[in-house]
Structure 1
Amino acid sequence: MNDRQELWSKIDGAKQRLIELSDRVWGMPEVCYTELRSAAEHKAELLHQGFRVKEGLAGIPTSLVGEIGESGPVIAFLGEYDALPGLSQEAGIAEHKPVEAGGHGHGCGHNLLGSGAMLAAVGLAAFLKEKGITARVRYYGCPAEEGGAAKAFMVREGAFDDVDVAISWHPYSFWEVAPPLSLANTRADFIFKGRASHAAATPHLGRSALDAVELMSVGVNYMREHMPSDARVHSAILDAGGIAPNVVQANARVRYSIRAMELQDMLELVQRVHKIAQGAALMTETSVEMKIVSAVSNTLGNKPLEQALYNAMDELGVPSFDDGDRAFARKIQDTLSDADIAAVYRAIGMPATDEPLATFLTPQDTNRKPLIGSTDIGDVSWVVPTVQVHAPTVAIGTPFHTWQVVTQGKMPAAHKAMVHAAKAMAATGLAAITDPILMESAKAALSEQTARTPYVSPLNADVMPPLDMSKG
C-alpha cells in the first residue's frame, strides 16, 4: 500500500461521521450569514477530531477555522454550509415536494461541500500524525458564499495570510479539476428617495422613487450593448415603495449584481451603473445612494496544483456508483429538459452519452464552453495558490440552485462523490507538503500572475460583512 492508499484508508475510516454531518446540515438549511446551527455542528465535529478552533473570523459570527499541527507548511481546506432561500425540498424523491412552503434548501450542495472539505482535513491530519510529518492542516468554515462574499472579507482581514496552499471542491455533474473561471461580482443596493403625494389629486407634487428604479433599469438595458459580451448585470427590486397605487412612491430600493470576467472591468461597470442611477435620480428629481453589499474577485488558476490534483483524480478514478444510484439519477433526469443535459456536456467540451452519472475524468484539454458564475473563493486564489475539485454528486445535467439538487443531497451517490472529492483534495495537500518543487512551483505561478496585476480587494475598507443581508 503506497502513501496515497494509506491516506485514503484514513478517509474511509473517518467518512461515516462526516457523511452524518453533511446530512444534519442538509436538514437545517440556513441562508447567508444566518448559519448558526450549521457552524456549531462543524465546530463540534472539529473539536471531536482534535482540532483547535477559532471562531468569528473577520467579524463574521458563523465563520471558523480549525487547525492541527504546530509548525510547517499550512494546507487549508475550504468548506461552506450556507443554503438558498425558497428551495425547501424533501430528500430522495424525483418530484417537487417542499418540506416547508417557502423554506430554505441546499440547492448548491454546500452541506456536502463543508463536510467533504473537513473529511479531507481529518484524513490528512491523521496520516501526517501517523507518519510523523510536520505540517499544519486547517479547515476553514466559510459562510455566506451565496452572495455574501464571506471569504472576500476574510481575505481582506488577513485570515489566509500564512496559508501555503488552499484546496476546495464543489458538487457538479462530472469528475474533473474545476476550471479556474469565475466572474468578478459586486452586489450593490441603489436607494432612491422622493416625495410622497396623492397620485390623483396632486401628482405634480410627488417625486416617484419607483419611477427612478424603472428608469435606471431602462438605462442599464441600453448599456448592455456597450459592455463586454461576457459581462452580466441583473437586478431585484427589494422595496417598490408600497402597495398603494394612489400614493406616489417616496422610497424604493433595487439591488444590482454586476459581473465581469476581470476585476478591473467589473469595477468600471459598477461606476457606469452608478452614473445611470444618478441620471435616473436627476430625471425624476429624486436622490440616490449606492451601498455596496458584497464583492468578489475573479478566480486565478494554478497550473502546478491543477496537474497534481488531476493526477490524484486519475489514480482514484470516478466514484463507484451502483445500479440503485443510476436508477435514481435517471428519475431525476426525467424531470430535466434535453437542453439541461446538453448544456453541461457543452460546458466540459465532451460528447453527450446516455449515462445518468459521471463515468470518466474530464480531460484538461477539452474545448469547453463553460457556464460561469461567481464565487468568493476567487479572492482566496489571489493571495494563496488555490485549486478545486468538481465531483459528481448529482445526475448529469442537474441545474444548480434547483429543487433537484436539494433532493439528491442526502443520496448514497452524493455521499460517494463527497468522499471521493475528500480523497482527491487530501492527496493534493499531501503532495504539496512532501514535494518542495510542487509547493515552489505553485507559489511561483501565483506570483507571476499577481506581479502583473497585484491583488486589490474589491471591498473598500468601510464595507462591512452584510450580516443582515438575508433580511432583504
Structure 2
Amino acid sequence: MEHLNHLIKDIEALAPEFTALSDSIWDEPELRWEEHAAVAKQIALAENYGFSISREVAGIPTAFSASKGSGGPVIAFLGEYDALAELSQDGGNTERCPDPGNHSGNGQGCGHHLLGAGSLLAAVATARYLEKNGLPGRVRYYGCPAEEAAAGKSFMVKAGAFAGVDAAITWHPFASTLWKQNLMLAYAQVYFHFKGVAAHAGAAPHMGRSALDAVELLNVGTNFLREHMPDTARIHYAITDAGGLSPNVVQPRASVYYIIRATDGQQMRDLYERVLKVAKGAALMTETELTVEFDGACSEILPNEALEQVLYQTTKALGGVPFDAMDQSAAARFAAGLDHREVRNAKTSIGWGPNEEKALHDEVPDQSPLPRVQLTGSSDVGDVSWSVPTVQIMAASFALGTPLHTWQVVAQGKLPAAHKGMIYAAKAMSGTAVSLFADQGLIADAKAEFDTIIAETPYICPIPDDVMAPPVRRARINELQDELNMQSI
C-alpha cells in the first residue's frame, strides 16, 4: 500500500478542481439523456489532463469515454451525472425550499454530480500515478448517462463499449461506507400506449372506446398481481398521457410508463410477461389498440469477491471518511428532520447503538460472514458487472437515515461532508486500481471468479435486440418522419 500515500497527496491537491466540477453539475441538473452540459464539463476537464476522448459511445449523445496510458491491463472507472425531476432544493436548507436559482425543477437527488466527478478524479489520479512511475497500464473513464431511467450503461454494454476492459471500478454516494456490494434488482422500463376512439361522453359514449379505461384496467390488473409475485419484486407506474383535459370526451389515447423489478433477470422477464398479458387483456376488454414501447432494462449486480478484497484492504488503510465536528453538526440538523425509525435502523445496520450521537458514518465496516443485503433498488452497473469483473464502494456522504431520491439528498449535495465523501471514494477507487495494476495476479483472480460464474450462468442482455437507446430511437423516428415528408412533397 505504499502507493496509497502518493495517491492521497495527489488527490487532495486535485480535489478543489473536481469539487468545483461536482458543484457546477449540481447547479445545472439535467435529466436522463439530456446531460449535455455535464458531459461538456467532464470532457473539458479530462482533456485538460491529457485524456483522449471518444464521443457518443454506443451512438448516445451524452455517453463518452476518456482514455490515457499504454500497455498493461485496462481498468475502467464508471461515472454518472443525471438528475431527477421535481427535486430542486436550496443547498444546505433543512426545510423544503426549491433552489431559487434553479429554473429546471430538477435536482441531484441521488448524488450523481458527486459520483461522476469522484470517478473522474480517481481516473485522473490513477493515470498520473502510472505516468509518474513509468508503469504500463491504461485508464479509461466512462461517462454514463441515464442511470435513473432506461439504463444508459446497459445500452453501452449491448453495443460492446466495455470490450477489452479487464476490471471496472465505481462508487455511489450513500449514508454509510460499504466495501461489500449490496444486491440489487434487475428491472425493465416499458411504455404501454393505448389507442381508442373519441366520442361525446354524454351524447354518444357507446361510440367511443376509452384508452384511459384501458390504462386504468391495466393498473388495476397489475395491482392484483402483487399478491402473487416474490416479496422483493416491485412494480411502479406513472400515467404519462391521460388522454386530454376534457371529461366530456372519451379519451382516444392514453399511455402509462412501467418499471418492473425482480431479484434477477429471469424473474424480471417472467414478471414482465405477466404484466404484458394484463396489458393485452386491458386492450381486449376496452376494444383499444395496444402498442408496447420497451424503453430499457438492466440486470442485477454480480459481485466480485476477489476485487472486493482489494477494495477492503484499501479502505482499511484509509480509515473512514474524515468528517469533523462541523460536518457532524450540520448532518445532525438534517437527521433531526428525518424519520427517526429510519435513522435508528441506519445506525443499527452499521453496528452503532440507536442513541449514537454522530449523524455521519466515519468508520469502515470489518469483514463479515453475514450474507449480502438485498436492496430493492436497481442500478445499470449490473450489466457492466456481467460483462467485466466490477467492484463498487458506497461512500458516506449524507446523514444516516437520509433516503435517496429526496430533496434532503439534494440539500446535502454541496456540503463539505458530501465533498469529503467524494474525495474519499476517489482515494479508495484509485488505490484499488493501482493495486491491480501493480499485481496483475489480482486481476487474474477476479477474472477466474467471473469466468466461473459466467460459465454456469451466462449473461443475457435484458434489452431486446431491436431496441435502441431512447435518444437514438427518437433520432431514428425523426429521420423516418423526414423521409416520409420528403416523399409526400
Is TM-score (shorter-chain normalized) higher than 0.5?
Answer: yes
Instruction: Name the SS for the 2:386 alignment partner.
Output: helix
1:382 and 2:386 are equivalent in the alignment: yes
Aligned counterpart, 1:358: 361
Q: Distance in 1 between matches of 2:306 and 2:170?
A: 16
Amino acid in the other structure paired with 2:27: G
Q: 1:182 and 1:346, CA in 2 relative to 1: closer, same or farther beyond 3 A?
A: farther
Q: 1:153 and 1:110, CA in 2 relative to 1: closer, same or farther beyond 3 A?
A: same
Q: Is the 8 A contact 1:11 1:123 kept in 2?
A: yes
Q: Using the TM superposition, give the Cα deviation of residue 42 of structure 1 relative to its aligned residue in structure 2, in angstroms.
A: 0.1
Q: Using the TM superposition, give the Cα deviation of residue 342 of structure 1 relative to its aligned residue in structure 2, in angstroms.
A: 3.0
Aligned counterpart, 1:91: 91
Once the two structures are superposed, the pairs formed by residues 34-183 of structure 1 within 5 Å of their partners are 34-99=34-99, 100=102, 103-183=105-185
Q: Is the 8 A contact 2:186 2:264 kept in 1?
A: yes
Q: Is the 8 A contact 1:393 1:417 kept in 2?
A: yes
Q: 1:33 and 1:48, CA in 2 relative to 1: closer, same or farther beyond 3 A?
A: same
Amino acid in the other structure paired with 2:364: L
Percent of residue pairs identical: 47
Q: Using the TM superposition, give the Cα deviation of residue 436 of structure 1 relative to its aligned residue in structure 2, in angstroms.
A: 2.4
| Deviation readout 1:113-157 (Å, 9 max, x if unpaired) | 001001111111111111111000111111111013110010011
Q: Using the TM superposition, give the Cα deviation of residue 458 of structure 1 relative to its aligned residue in structure 2, in angstroms.
A: 0.9
2:442 aligns with one of 438, 441, 465 = 438
1:392 aligns with one of 393, 396, 409 = 396
Amino acid in the other structure paired with 1:360: E
Instruction: Name the SS for the 2:162 alignment partner.
Output: coil
1:250 aligns with one of 245, 252, 257 = 252
Aligned residues: 470
1:453 and 2:457 are equivalent in the alignment: yes
Q: Using the TM superposition, give the Cα deviation of residue 58 of structure 1 relative to its aligned residue in structure 2, in angstroms.
A: 0.7
Q: Using the TM superposition, give the Cα deviation of residue 372 of structure 1 relative to its aligned residue in structure 2, in angstroms.
A: 2.7
Q: 1:101 and 1:123, CA in 2 relative to 1: closer, same or farther beyond 3 A?
A: closer
Aligned counterpart, 1:411: 415
Q: Distance in 2 between matches of 1:469 and 1:239?
A: 20
Q: Which runs of 4+ in 1 moved over 3 A?
A: 345-352, 366-371
Q: Is the 8 A contact 1:35 1:81 kept in 2?
A: yes
Q: Is the 8 A contact 2:181 2:372 kept in 1?
A: no
Q: Is the 8 A contact 1:349 1:369 kept in 2?
A: no
2:222 aligns with one of 220, 223, 241 = 220
Once the two structures are superposed, the pairs formed by residues 279-298 of structure 1 within 5 Å of their partners are 279-298=281-300
Q: Is the 8 A contact 1:55 1:63 kept in 2?
A: yes
Q: 1:255 and 1:343, CA in 2 relative to 1: closer, same or farther beyond 3 A?
A: farther
Amino acid in the other structure paired with 1:323: A
Amino acid in the other structure paired with 2:405: H
Instruction: Name the SS for the 2:292 alignment partner.
Output: strand
Q: 1:294 and 1:163, CA in 2 relative to 1: closer, same or farther beyond 3 A?
A: same
Q: Distance in 2 between matches of 1:101 and 1:43?
A: 25
| Deviation readout 1:420-444 (Å, 9 max, x if unpaired) | 1001001111111111221111001
Q: Distance in 1 between matches of 2:382 and 2:187?
A: 10
Q: Is the 8 A contact 1:33 1:148 kept in 2?
A: no
| Deviation readout 1:367-412 (Å, 9 max, x if unpaired) | 6654331111100000110000111111111111111111111111
Compare 335-344 and 65-74 and name the one that shifted more.
335-344
Q: Distance in 1 between matches of 2:292 and 2:350?
A: 38
Aligned counterpart, 1:192: 194
Q: Is the 8 A contact 1:187 1:255 kept in 2?
A: yes
Compare 315-324 and 36-45 and name the one that shifted more.
315-324
Amino acid in the other structure paired with 1:47: E
Q: TM-score, normalised by structure 2?
A: 0.93
Instruction: Name the SS for the 1:176 alignment partner.
Output: coil
Q: 1:212 and 1:468, CA in 2 relative to 1: closer, same or farther beyond 3 A?
A: farther
Q: Is the 8 A contact 1:197 1:203 kept in 2?
A: yes
What RMSD, in angstroms, separates the aligned Cα atoms of the two structures?
1.7
Q: 1:101 and 1:57, CA in 2 relative to 1: closer, same or farther beyond 3 A?
A: closer
Q: Distance in 2 between matches of 1:383 and 1:15?
A: 31
2:317 aligns with one of 312, 315, 318 = 315
Q: Distance in 2 between matches of 1:347 and 1:218?
A: 36
Q: Distance in 1 between matches of 2:437 and 2:216?
A: 55
Structure 2 unmatched ranges of 5 or more: 475-489
Q: Distance in 1 between matches of 2:185 and 2:473?
A: 21
Compare 301-310 and 366-375 and name the one that shifted more.
366-375
Q: Is the 8 A contact 1:176 1:363 kept in 2?
A: no
Aligned counterpart, 2:20: 20
Instruction: Name the SS for the 2:88 alignment partner.
Output: coil
Q: Is the 8 A contact 2:182 2:374 kept in 1?
A: no
1:464 aligns with one of 448, 468, 486 = 468
Q: Using the TM superposition, give the Cα deviation of residue 180 of structure 1 relative to its aligned residue in structure 2, in angstroms.
A: 4.1
Q: Distance in 2 between matches of 1:369 and 1:194?
A: 45
Q: Distance in 1 between matches of 2:438 and 2:147?
A: 31
Q: Using the TM superposition, give the Cα deviation of residue 468 of structure 1 relative to its aligned residue in structure 2, in angstroms.
A: 8.7
Instruction: Name the SS for the 2:471 alignment partner.
Output: coil
Amino acid in the other structure paired with 2:319: G
Aligned counterpart, 2:406: 402
Q: Is the 8 A contact 2:77 2:168 kept in 1?
A: yes
Q: 1:169 and 1:218, CA in 2 relative to 1: closer, same or farther beyond 3 A?
A: same
1:236 aligns with one of 217, 235, 238 = 238
Q: Is the 8 A contact 1:347 1:371 kept in 2?
A: no
| Deviation readout 1:228-279 (Å, 9 max, x if unpaired) | 2211111110011111111111111001100101101101111111111001
Structure 1 unmatched ranges of 5 or more: none
| Deviation readout 1:273-315 (Å, 9 max, x if unpaired) | 1111001111111111111011101110000101110111111
Q: Distance in 1 between matches of 2:197 and 2:149?
A: 32
Q: Is the 8 A contact 2:53 2:65 kept in 1?
A: yes
| Deviation readout 1:157-205 (Å, 9 max, x if unpaired) | 1110110010000000111115241111000001111111111111111
Aligned counterpart, 2:484: none
Q: TM-score, normalised by structure 1?
A: 0.96
Q: Using the TM superposition, give the Cα deviation of residue 336 of structure 1 relative to its aligned residue in structure 2, in angstroms.
A: 0.5
